[in-house]
Amino acid sequence: MTSFLTADRLAQERAASETPHDTRRLRLFSGTSNQELSREIGAYLGVPDGPRVIKRFADGETYIQIQESIRGCDVFLVQPTCAPVNDHLMELLIMVDACKRASARQVTAVIPYYGYARADRKTAGRESITAKLVANLLTMSGVDRVLAMDLHSSQIQGYFDIPCDHIYGSPVLVDYLQTRNLGEVVVVSPDVGGVARARAFAKQMHDAPLAIIDKRRAAHNVAESLTVIGDVAGKTAILIDDMIDTGGTICQGARLLRRSGAARVLCCATHAVFSPPATERLSEPGLFEEVVVTNSIPLAEERRFPQLRVLSVANMLGEAIWRIHEESSVSSMFR
């Protein structure tokens, strides 16, 4: 499996190559939601975060200006649509419009965290499907391609009428876990809907056994765990999910695993949404040995806790960006 956790492999390849890669037509710009991640991606690519002005008028309207020529360039806009979701989504749309009007050859929206993804179908009458709505907004704003990571559900790729490259944070998580002495491992899905994700993760963990938590949800952000399907007694249980929001599902699952005899409990997720009171729940003494997430969403210092481990996905996103720019395969990164 390709490692995106340590060495800058692309830099090593460039140094070994007699013909240097041409990045003159590659431009990278970040919004305000995760500028540190954008800088890390730029360092991997050897491309600086482009100059732009982003400011707000007194009434809250956003003004954006690109401050260098991007005519005929491949432009990549890095902007996870995390909280405040509406502000960051609108900021991304305005950035796209600015780039299209500046005659960019192609504009790719790099969205490490795709907000509004949980409403991906109608489960009751008169509901909106916001995942499709956001896809329509991005398409109509002028985006030529979307690069997203760990969408809440895979079918969201089909909501776009433009190319959508979907990559996964699991290689970074697996690389880290394999450096730990975990003993006998069982991968646990916190609900039935995450079984496919957990099964794929278990395969990457040397075909580890799989367990499932049977859960019923009473309301939004309120979960009730019932029972564990599978053997976890005496093993290191790794709960895997795409995101942690308030932490209710994951924490109830961890308590159930402890009661079922799991020797150690770890939690892995790509997106650390961490809406209150997630930090208090996840940091409960004796619950999790470690909570492993990525930096797809920036985490303020007040939302961090001793059990938290944040891994960078900058190299993975940078590699995907380079492959899109070079018109080579993105999916082969995960073979």
Let me know the angle formed at the C-alpha of 271 by 292 and 242, rounded to the nearest 5 degrees: 90
In sequence order, which ranges of 142-235 are alpha helices (DSSP H)? 170-177, 195-204
Compute the distance between CA of residue 179 and CA of residue 192 in angstroms, rounded to an integer.
Answer: 29
- Residue 107 tokens, joined: 């504009």
- Among candidates 300, 309, 302, 246, which has minimal Cα distance to 273? 246
Spot the catalytic one: 55, 132, 215, 235: 215
DSSP-assigned beta bridge partners for residue 35: none
Beta-strand runs (E) in the chain: 26-30, 52-56, 62-66, 74-78, 106-111, 145-149, 164-167, 185-189, 210-219, 222-229, 236-244, 264-272, 290-294, 308-311
- Among candidates 317, 297, 319, 318, which has minimal Cα distance to 308? 297
User: Catalytic: 215?
Assistant: yes
The set of catalytic residues is: 215
